[in-house]
Homo-oligomer: A and B are copies of this chain.
Amino acid sequence: MSVNSFGHLFRFTTWGESHGPALGATVDGCPPRVALEPAMIQQWLNKRRPGLNKNTTQRNEPDSVEILSGVFEGQTTGTPIQLMIRNTDQRSRDYGDIVNSFRPGHADITYHQKYGIRDYRGGGRSSARETASRVAAGGVAREAIRAIAPGVQIKGYMTQMGAKQIDRSRVDWEEIDRNDFFCPDAVAAEEWEAYLQWLRKDDHNSVGAIIEVVARGVPAGIGAPIYAKLDTDLAAAMMSINAVKGVEIGEGMAAAALTGRDNADEIFMGADGPEYSSNHAGGILGGISTGQDIVVRFAVKPTSSILSPRKSIRMDGSSTEVITKGRHDPCVGIRAVPVGEAMMACVILDHLLMDRGQTGGERGVIG
């Protein structure tokens, strides 16, 4: 029932504050005999790391992960895996001016109202830094998936920055890692680059984004009815990421404008089983995978911490204006891409394991 845990059989609990000595994830339920080394996790942490490029915060964290338990001679043992990331760069003074005032759009005020105390250093527990713990847990999930369902591929990318969307006809997965935005459209990537520079330097502003995450090669039949549907768990997974305000599966909100005839994914018999004429459903029917691509999208709001002054109040109720200097991403959505990938990996692994417990992993025969 831990409010800081996620998952059913594959379950992780994250801990740590932005400016504490360390943060990490306690990962439980990883199958035994999965090859696991820090480098396998580190590669994903490097993708989200601050200071990665000029478009993300200049804070410089090596974010190097240590495996403190659950691995023996390079293999998982089936016991809890403790992943720890030391906080090495903590310029607390940057945040000193918000000790007594609440930043608009931040959890400062609600944490204070709920707990009567808050770690104001860098947002404490509410900092996006928590997502490093998820990315580490996701790295473990990816290795376990590789071991038990080798065909699965998980890929995330940005489809929109501010009002600027990608051109779906130009999408190329190879392009995603060639630019600073995890953008699958080379033309859009250039446009975004210029826009973001202007936003940060001239406009002292920030902007939102939309991220899409796809899981390819997931077998049909994983998931569960009703309250642990694959889409339910994915919605929770993505909405739990800082600054996320919306989650979509397949057609998402646009499904509202479709008619039943247009929305129908017709079914045909293929060589290796059922095939579909389209994927409006995003690879999930009744909470259970169809074998098609599982497609999730989520919207990240613009960073609340901007250099432009915003009206707020202090703890004593007096009025103030807040300008957040510190080091902040003008588009926090960029770093949300590896986080979304990690959450997708955790949900897919969890349901692969759950399915074995629920059904033994046998499938109903078709054809």
Contact = CB atoms under 8 A, between A and B. Distances in A.
A28 to B, nearest CB: 4
A115 to B, nearest CB: 4
A80 B14 contact: yes
Interface string A298-326: 01111111101011110111110000000
A5 B282 CA distance: 24
Q: What are the 7 closest A-B residue pairs judged by CB atoms, nearest first?
A: A107-B286, A317-B367, A357-B357, A206-B260, A3-B228, A110-B288, A235-B239
A359 interface: yes
A194 interface: no
Contact of A366 (B28, B78, B245, B315): B315
Interface in A36-84: 66, 68-70, 72, 75, 77-82, 84
A265 interface: yes
Contacts of A210: 253, 256
A32 interface: yes
A266 B107 contact: no
Copies in the complex: 4
Interface string A324-367: 00000000010000000000000000000111111111111111
Contacts of A26: 13, 15, 26
Nearest to A360: B356
A227 B260 contact: no
Given A239-B231, A261-B306, A366-B313, A110 B69 contact: no
Q: Which of the four size classes fits the interface of chain A?
A: 35 or more
Contacts of A365: 116, 315
Nearest to A148: B360
A364 B116 contact: yes
A155 interface: no
A245 B240 contact: no
Contact of A22 (B82, B203, B205, B224): B82
Nearest to A222: B114
Interface string A3-44: 111101101011111001111101011011100000000000
Contact of A77 (B125, B221, B232, B317): B125
Nearest to A130: B226
